[in-house]
Amino acid sequence: MPITQKAIRLAWQFASEHKHPQKVEQIYINTLAVLVVCDYLKLLDIETDLSQCDSWNPVIRLFENVADLYIKGLGKIECIPIRRVHQNTQNGNAVSAANLPETCPIHTEARDERIGYIAVEIDEEEKQARLLGFSPTAATGELVLSDLYSLDDFLIHLEKIHESKVDLRQWLENKFTANWLSVESIFDPQPETEPTEIENPIKSNLGNWLQNVAEAGWQKFEQGKQNLEDLIFPEDNPSFVFRGGGNSTTESGARISSNINRFPEADVTRAKLIDLGMRLGSTTVALLVAIAQEDDRTFRVHVQLHPAIGDRYLPRHLKLSLISDAGEILQELESTVQHQCISLEFYVEPGECFGIRLAIDDLSITENFMV
């Protein structure tokens, strides 16, 4: 990839804002790496937005070593610059040294909120750059250049991130990606067409029942006090209301009934069971998302988190967060003692992306959406 004169001028413009020689070099080479990758993605018709980059923020550039590039709708990649060294021979001719370092360190500020890392070799004398490869993570704090993936793998990686985002506009067309189910199918499950047959080895003695003696598992019903529905759906199960005006709430509600319209103002409502894993004894929670399209084409989104049937309350210290496309936390709630529901409500514009994150202890699960 050629390094354009425009890129060189802009890199010197950013670098000249500082007096310390090491900082000047750092900003100059970082800016060149970002612009080279930006030009590469532009050739592939992949949109970027430099205004959303920390590397384009003069204040952040002053205090941090960043070379991030924001890809619209996907997230940030870090462009790791590696200088190509030229050495003078005895006759005065410059020779380019082809030896590259085995590893390249990743600075602390660039280890979070990145969807990938691209190593960029910068040849300032020849005004050329070479994209050496890609890594989806930098968990060890460095890139091993021999382990980098190809640029084709990088494009596949971007495609997978794009496919993982949920397009809310398709919900209005009754098109849903896997695992997003109707609310009724989760909270009012119907019997399976072919139920699993389990035979109890202990036979029930009906004669003993007449004497008020029954085997374990058989519960007595008293007329007028209790029925089967009360046993399956206790009184303190949550109800669901799509209210206007609020941004984030926690609530407890009345019992579920299959004929309740839980989000009366929503155009579409879907739900998903989220397994929080073995940390909580395989606790499962239900994530509900309801959307309503406004007159100005914006979307009102209401998100609720409930315990699944069988649990009375949400796990304590479970966080529900609204995450921007750049990875920033916009809203966040945390469940406390005896919370049956926590919820977020917000508006999104057409073309915007966001994420809903569930987090507890060291476990984090994020569902990504797009409009």
pLDDT given at position 88: 59
**pLDDT tens per residue across span 68-78:** 999 998 899 99
pLDDT given at position 333: 92
Cα–Cα distance, 84 to 122 (Å, whole number): 6
pLDDT given at position 281: 58
Residue 14 token pair: 């950013």
Q: Enter the pTM of the model.
A: 0.56
Smallest CA-to-CA distance from 335 within 255, 252, 234, 274 is with 252
Cα–Cα distance, 163 to 156 (Å, whole number): 10
How many CB atoms within 10 Å of residue 57? 14
Phi, psi of 30 (to 5 degrees): -65, -45
Along the 371 residues of the chain, how does pLDDT read in single tens digits?
Answer: 899 999 999 999 999 988 889 999 999 999 999 999 999 999 999 999 999 999 999 999 888 999 999 999 889 999 999 998 766 555 555 555 457 888 889 988 888 889 999 999 999 888 999 999 999 988 888 899 999 999 999 999 999 888 888 878 888 888 877 778 777 777 776 665 444 333 333 433 323 423 444 435 334 433 333 332 333 234 444 444 444 334 455 544 333 333 334 555 777 888 888 888 655 556 788 888 888 888 888 888 889 988 876 678 888 889 999 999 888 899 999 998 778 889 999 998 888 888 888 988 888 888 888 87
pLDDT given at position 263: 59
CA 228 to chain centre: 40
How many CB atoms within 10 Å of residue 300? 18
